[in-house]
Amino acid sequence: EITKEQRALIKAILDAYNRHQIPQDVTKKLLQEQYSAEENFLLLTEVATSQVQVLVEFTKNIPGFLSLDREDQIALLKGSAVEAMFLRSAQVLSKKMPSGYTEVLEERIRKSGMSEEFMTPMFNFYKSIEELHMTQEEQALLTTITILTPDRPYVKSHEAVERLQETMLDVLRKLCVLQHPQEPQYFARLLGRLTELRTLHHYHVEMLTSWKTNDHKFTPLLCEIWDVQ
Ligand SMILES: CC(C)c1onc(-c2c(Cl)cccc2Cl)c1COc1ccc(-c2ccc3c(C(=O)O)csc3c2)cc1
């Protein structure tokens, strides 16, 4: 059912996903530094900046991405960064596959000066991702599909991106049937998470504004990718 080419595609994406991770010296700080709203915000800003750099490297390894129009490549990265980071942080926070960062990351997010109204939808999302028990391949493919969303602002060659995304959706659908035979709805549930990511993306724009009004500074890379300042 999964063709040889599709197996090669899964392997390429999974390898890239596992190869590109935030360096230990950055994530280690989450375990060491003090807890205060200020310190938590600074640390989250640092890991988010590092995660964006990791995301750019991962994206360059998505087969076909570098053949897209250069400006579209930027538009896809800007448009998907927040959603890709929600997926990545969801993996870290998942208590099913505890990384050493699960508790500290949750604590620092909860106490980073973010307004309460975003906490509930954010942690509901994290819970809904956890309940899916996604495999590594599914995580990597879902992130790839999020990046290759054609209807981001300023994307010109909509069809070219759509063709790439459809290739990945086709692989993910087959993979879900194989890896979750007892759950025929699993693929549909995964796609439902993509819809929820868009809602969180809208919340995130307000989140940034609420941090900004409390005079929180972001790094140049985050300002550029999120169009703040
Ligand atoms: C600018 C900052 C205050 C901010 O604004 N919005 C969000 C933000 C939030 Cl608070 C939630 C979701 C998405 C975003 Cl952008 C953030 C913080 O974003 C994060 C990005 C990425 C990680 C993240 C990734 C991987 C890993 C790993 C690993 O791979 O081993 C170990 S620890 C860890 C930590 C956490 C937070």
Digit-coded pLDDT (tens) for 188-200: 999 999 999 999 9
- Top pLDDT among 100 and 88 is at 88
Q: Would you mind telling me the total number of residues written for the chain in this entry? A: 229
pLDDT for 80 beyond 80: yes
Quick check: CB of 54 below 6 Å from ligand 1? no
Element (H, E) at 80: helix 70-93
Quick check: CB of 27 below 6 Å from ligand 1? yes
Tell me the best of 24, 41, 51 to mutate to test the pocket of ligand 1, counting ligand atoms within 8 Å of each CB and taking the most: 51
For the entire predicted model, the pTM comes to 0.96
Contacts of 113 (CB under 8 A, 6+ apart): 37, 38, 40, 41, 211, 214, 216
Q: What residue has token string 């538009």?
A: 75
Cβ count within 10 A of residue 45? 17
Quick check: CB of 222 below 6 Å from ligand 1? yes
Split at pLDDT 50, 70, 90, the class of 109 is very high
Quick check: CB of 45 below 6 Å from ligand 1? yes
In the structure encoding, which two tokens stand for residue 205, read together?
A: 């724009």
d(CA 168, CA 162): 10
Quick check: CB of 108 below 6 Å from ligand 1? no
pLDDT for 134 beyond 80: yes
63 C-alpha vs ligand 1 centroid, how far in Å? 25
Find how far residue 175's CA is from the centre of its chain: 20
**Percentage of the chain surpassing pLDDT 70?**
100
Residue 20 three-state SS: coil
- Top pLDDT among 160 and 1 is at 160
d(CA 192, CA 187): 9
165 C-alpha vs ligand 1 centroid, how far in Å? 25
Of 55, 76, 87, 66, the closest CA to residue 151 belongs to 76
Contacts of 36 (CB under 8 A, 6+ apart): 111
pLDDT for 97 beyond 80: no
Transcribe 96-159 into DSSP letters: TS--TTHHHHHHHHHTSS--HHHHHHHHHHHHHHHTT---HHHHHHHHHHHHT-TTSTT-S-HH
Quick check: CB of 48 below 6 Å from ligand 1? yes
Quick check: CB of 77 below 6 Å from ligand 1? no
Split at pLDDT 50, 70, 90, the class of 25 is very high
Q: Most distant CA pair in the chain: distance in Å? A: 54
78 C-alpha vs ligand 1 centroid, how far in Å? 16
Quick check: CB of 21 below 6 Å from ligand 1? yes
Split at pLDDT 50, 70, 90, the class of 116 is confident
